[in-house]
A and B are shown apart, each in its own frame.
Chain A
Amino acid sequence: MYSFPKNRYLYNGACHDHFKPMPADFRSQIEGQRAYLLRFASLQLRSTEAAEDVVQETLLAALAGESGYRGQSNLRTWLTGILKHKIVDAIRKSSREMAAGAFDDDPEIESLGYKFKDNAHWAERPAAWSDPDSALEQKQFLAALEKCLQALPARTAQAFLMREHLGLGTDEICKELSITATHCWVLLYRARMALRQCLEAGWFGKGAKG
C-alpha cells in the first residue's frame, strides 16, 4: 500500500481523489526541487504567498503529468517550464485585476536615476566597470543585483523580469500586460538603465566595493 509522504500539499483533498499512487522516488524528486522553484517564482512575483501558490500548482500539475516527463533528461528544467506557465497565468490574472489607474509607470517619465543634459547627451559619462565577469562568480554580487531589482517600481520590474528571468519575448509581455510594444520597450529601457545605475552605485562604483 502506498503511503503519502508527510507534506501539506499532498493532503490537499484533490490529491487523494485524483492522483494514482506514484513511485515514491518521483514524488520525492519533485519535492526536492521545491526550494529552487520557490526562489524562481519569488523573484518574478515579488510575493512569497503568490510564489507558494504557483509552486503548489506546479507540483500538482507535475504529479498529474508525470508521463509528460518521461524521456526528458532534466527534472528541474521540466518543472521550471511548467512553473513559467503558472507564473504567466498569475501575472495575467493580477494584471486584469489591476485598475487602469494603478500603473506606477508613466511611459513619459523615463528617468530612473540616470541623467542626461538638456541636449540629451551625458551629464556624467558612464565609466567602464572593472572586471564585471568576476562579479558574476560572487554571491554578494547576485545579492546586490537582487536588491537593485527590488528597488524598481512594480510594473517596471515585472516587465523586466518577464523578459530576462522568464525569457519571454516582448510581444508576449505586451499581450499579458495589455500594453503597447512601445510602452514595453520603455519599461525595459528604464529597468535596464536603473539597474545599471544601481549596480554602479552599489557595486562597481569607486569605493563602493568592499
Chain B
Amino acid sequence: MLTCKEVTRLISQGLDRELSFGEQTALRVHFVICRGCRNVNRQLAFLRRAMQRLSSAENETGR
C-alpha cells in the first residue's frame, strides 16, 4: 500500500519516464480512495500545460 508521499513521487516520475505496469496499477488503486492525490495528479498535469503556455507565449507576456 503506497503512502501519499510515495504516490506524489510516482505522479511526478510519470511525467518523466514510463511507469511500470505495477506502478500504474498502484496509482490507480490509490486514486480511487484518495481525493488529495487525485487532485495533485491533475494539478501536476496542468502545470506541464501551463509551462508549455509560458514557453510559447513569452513574447506576448513580455515586460
User: How far, in angstroms, from A182 to B46 measured CA to CA in the complex?
Assistant: 23
User: How far, in angstroms, from A141 to B55 measured CA to CA in the complex?
Assistant: 13
Check if B61 sits within 8 Å of A164, measured CB to CB.
Answer: no
Partner of A120, one of B3, B43, B47, B51: B3
Given the complex, which residues of B lie within 8 Å of A39, measured CB to CB? 58-59, 62
Known pairs A35-B59, A142-B57; A164 contacts B51 (CB<8 A): yes
Check if B49 sits within 8 Å of A136, measured CB to CB.
Answer: yes
Given the complex, which residues of A lie within 8 Å of B47, measured CB to CB? 164, 192, 195-196, 199
Given the complex, which residues of B lie within 8 Å of A119, measured CB to CB? 3
Interface size on A, residues (CB 8 A): 38
Partner of A142, one of B13, B37, B54: B54
- Kindly provide the distance from the CB of B20 to the nearest chain A CB, expressed in whole angstroms: 14
Partner of A163, one of B16, B39, B46: B16
Given the complex, which residues of A lie within 8 Å of B50, measured CB to CB? 132, 135-136, 141-142, 145
Check if B35 sits within 8 Å of A125, measured CB to CB.
Answer: yes
Check if B43 sits within 8 Å of A126, measured CB to CB.
Answer: yes
Check if B12 sits within 8 Å of A192, measured CB to CB.
Answer: yes
- Kindly provide the distance from the CB of A188 to the nearest chain B CB, expressed in whole angstroms: 6
A128 at the B interface (CB under 8 A): yes
Return the CB mask of A120-159 against B: 1 if under 8 Å, else 0. 1110011111001001100101110110000000000000
Check if B4 sits within 8 Å of A121, measured CB to CB.
Answer: yes
Check if B12 sits within 8 Å of A185, measured CB to CB.
Answer: yes
Residues of B that sit less than 8 Å from A by CB: 3-6, 8-9, 12-13, 15-17, 35-37, 39-40, 42-44, 46-55, 57-62
Counting from the closest, the 7 A-B pairs by CB-CB distance are A120-B3, A125-B36, A120-B5, A39-B58, A164-B51, A189-B12, A36-B59
